[in-house]
Amino acid sequence: MSSFARLFFAFTLFLGGISSAVADIPSGLRTDLLEHTDRVWQNGYLSNISLADVGKTVESVQYVRIASSRPSFSWIVPGNGVHQTSYRIVVAETPEMVSDGKGVVWDSETVESGQSVAVVYGGEPLQPDKIYYWKVKVATDKDGESGWSQPKAFRTAEKLSDYGVSYYPQVKTKEYPSKMLRTLSDKRLFIDFGKAAFGQLVLTLTSETGRDTVVVHLGEAADGDRIDRKPGGTIRYQKYFLPLVKGKQTYRIAIRKDGRNTGRDAVFMPDYIGEVLPFRYCEVEGYHGEPALGDILRESVHYPFDDYASSFNSSNDTLNRIWELCKYSIKATSFAGIYVDGDRERIPYEADALINQLCHYGVDAEYAMARRSHEYLLQRPTWPTEWILQSVLIAWYDYMYTGDSRSLKACYETLKARSLTALQDDNGLISTTTGRQTKEFLESIKRREPIRDIVDWPHTGILGLNKHEGGEADGFVFTDYNAVTNAYHYEALKIMGRIANVIGEQADAAYFEKEASDFRERFNKVFFDKELGHYVDGDTTRHASLHANMFPVAFGMVPANRLDGVLEFIRSRKMACSVYGSQFLMDALYEASDSEYALSMLTKTDDRSWYNMIRVGSTISLEAWDNKYKPNQDWNHAWGAVPANAIPRKLMGVEPLLPGFEKVRIKPQLASLAWAKALIPTIRGAVKVDVDNADGKYVMRLTVPANMTADVYMPLMSKKYEVRIDGQIRKTARLKDSPFIAVGELPSGTYTLEMRY
């Protein structure tokens, strides 16, 4: 093929990757969960270089390297209100496959199946460092056979295994100031980029003599029209001296490395990106010129992110602002390519990864970064007991959102060990303090040092907190047998039973299912105090914390006849947890259908609120509610962005019921919101939910993507009601012990549901 033809074909693929495909052909083609496998970046910026030419460039280029010799393929089925009945995939070595089918390495032939996600390649193993092209066509129950999709190119990695994790490179975006203020008295420029980002600064400045030096300040916090030079904690501020060269020149500020976040356990920035600093503001002192707006820019660094993949708006402006804060936080904190805990350490932790994962799923149809972070942490576990157990939860969420079970199978033995059954004592509860952390146990979870319980963070008397300051664990009393740790153990047992079933380990599945059932009874017998009417922290204390109660509710451990009392106690404790703990508080409240109280927690405006993060001046979620609750905190922690997943998953009620969103549950819990609407990404396409909650009428407008079904629920507004779907009366069923009615299963399509009462 001529170089011109190759370039033209690459350009065609590029256009196909960034625009919507023809309506009657499959679109959104993904290889190993990644859609943009045909893109090439140059030093972080998208380029017109084709995959075939990546070895011919002088400058550094970046592209996806598919690490599996047997990758999986996914696509979005075309049409509205349709379900796939068959598919056919062709994989080839050359682009000529588009017209004449030459170079075919695998033809699935027609497969009678509705599977459109995680279809595993079935040919001879792919070769390393080679470009392949694939296309797919489908048939649906209403539209018949589609045309072939636009072909999608991908390149394999230099080393392959049957299954390997693939991911995007980090990329750069040029951003210009939203405001620039000149102060004549001290020859100072104050520049505001509108939001903080991890990035680098580029300035174009003019010097008449070449003998002047300007001072550049970068920071996250402002004090009036100056950057706060002493912001406290780990809120970032840096100062640079920049000697100017005569004439008009462009300068790049070389960000200094921080000794802590570039240490042994940190995730390093790649060479093609360079070091970054989180900052919103810039000051330039001692400059005599008048720069144009384009003369000062920030190159922000992040993982590829689709700003338009999700949206949310409601009748509550505070909630809307919190959503925007948290959505942006997920983009901004993706700078390392792996979920890290923020800028202070840049170290992955399971707790951060779990919340980051769910938030990422809530705001973008992106799944590879979560999987990469999860498998990274399986090899490098951190110290808290509960966070070891969280890996099992992360693995299950990965499967439910992607439909791809290969990671479960590849990591199964490690996940089994991380259920921590080895720590069970004779009483059937787990403990980290009764001598069961043997060398063999630690090796099984890939730890060198023993683990210990955390509950929440920070504890009293550390990280700048005095002994009289409460910490974030609500006074939790630690005993040998910890209610929070054991609640997590139950959830891990329950999920391991499901995982074992998925990968065909039936004996293990039976064991975990029985053990989970027995353990739930055991847990309630030990930790529920009948006299108090709620759960206590441990087996030898009567102290009860928010945490000892919210985790059992979140994990479905509370018998129905005890739930009201436990909820009453939870409400009495308000937000007596950290931003991390709030994930499980929100899950617990919505699990218990306590939507009005959940809404009040989401929208409250005191100093333990998401609104407080906005009020103190941050544009990325904080590590803690306020500096006084964690004096060494940073202003760029994704685990503080819980509403980015609580709103789509719980308030709007959109969650997968079957792997890969084959079936979705739609169960909005708007409480007193007058209206709310959301666009929620999934691997099969976006779910749209638009609810009007006016007096005397409840109207829900839904779009369920092709090849998906939905179990739909509506709130029980009155004892007497009537439900219509597109004007037709619908028979519904009230749910026992729940303020909801089941509308039933709806196939793919667009609907208007109306409840009159």
Task: Give the Cα separation of 178 and 430 in Å (integer).
Answer: 54
- The per-residue pLDDT for 547 is 98
The candidate with the shortest Cα–Cα distance to 11, out of 40, 33, 34, 35, is 40
Mean pLDDT value across residues 480-504? 98
Pick the CATH number of 171-302 from 3.40.50.2000, 2.60.120.260, 3.30.2350.10, 2.60.200.20: 2.60.120.260
Residue 80 Cα distances to 392, 677, 692, 713, 749, angstroms: 35, 20, 23, 21, 6
CATH number for region 659-756? 2.60.420.10
CATH number for region 3-161? 2.60.40.10
Confidence of residue 23 (pLDDT cuts 50, 70, 90): low
DSSP state of 294: G
Task: Find out whether 633 and 627 touch, Cβ atoms under 8 Å.
Answer: yes
* pLDDT tens, residue by residue, 236-282: 999 999 999 999 999 999 999 999 999 999 999 999 999 999 999 99
Task: Find out whether 654 and 687 touch, Cβ atoms under 8 Å.
Answer: yes
Task: Give the Cα separation of 16 and 8 in Å (integer).
Answer: 12
- Let me know if 387 is exposed, middle or buried by CB neighbors in 10 A (0-12, 13-18, 19+): buried
User: For residue 507, which phi and psi values (nearest 5 degrees)?
Assistant: -65, -45
* pLDDT tens, residue by residue, 52-87: 999 888 888 999 999 999 999 999 999 999 999 999
Residue 501 Cα distances to 113, 464, 505, 508, 509, angstroms: 21, 47, 6, 8, 6
Map out the domains of the chain as residue ranges: 3-161, 171-302, 389-576+587-592, 659-756
CB atoms within 10 A of CB 472: 26
pTM greater than 0.85? yes
Q: Which two tokens stand for residue 222?
A: 């402002």
Confidence of residue 292 (pLDDT cuts 50, 70, 90): confident
Task: Give the Cα separation of 363 and 370 in Å (integer).
Answer: 13
Q: For residue 425, give the 3-state DSSP assignment.
A: coil
Pick the CATH number of 389-576+587-592 from 3.40.50.300, 3.30.70.20, 3.90.1300.10, 1.50.10.10: 1.50.10.10
Task: Find out whether 303 and 356 touch, Cβ atoms under 8 Å.
Answer: no
Mean pLDDT value across residues 434-439? 97
Task: Give the Cα separation of 218 and 237 in Å (integer).
Answer: 6
- The per-residue pLDDT for 697 is 87
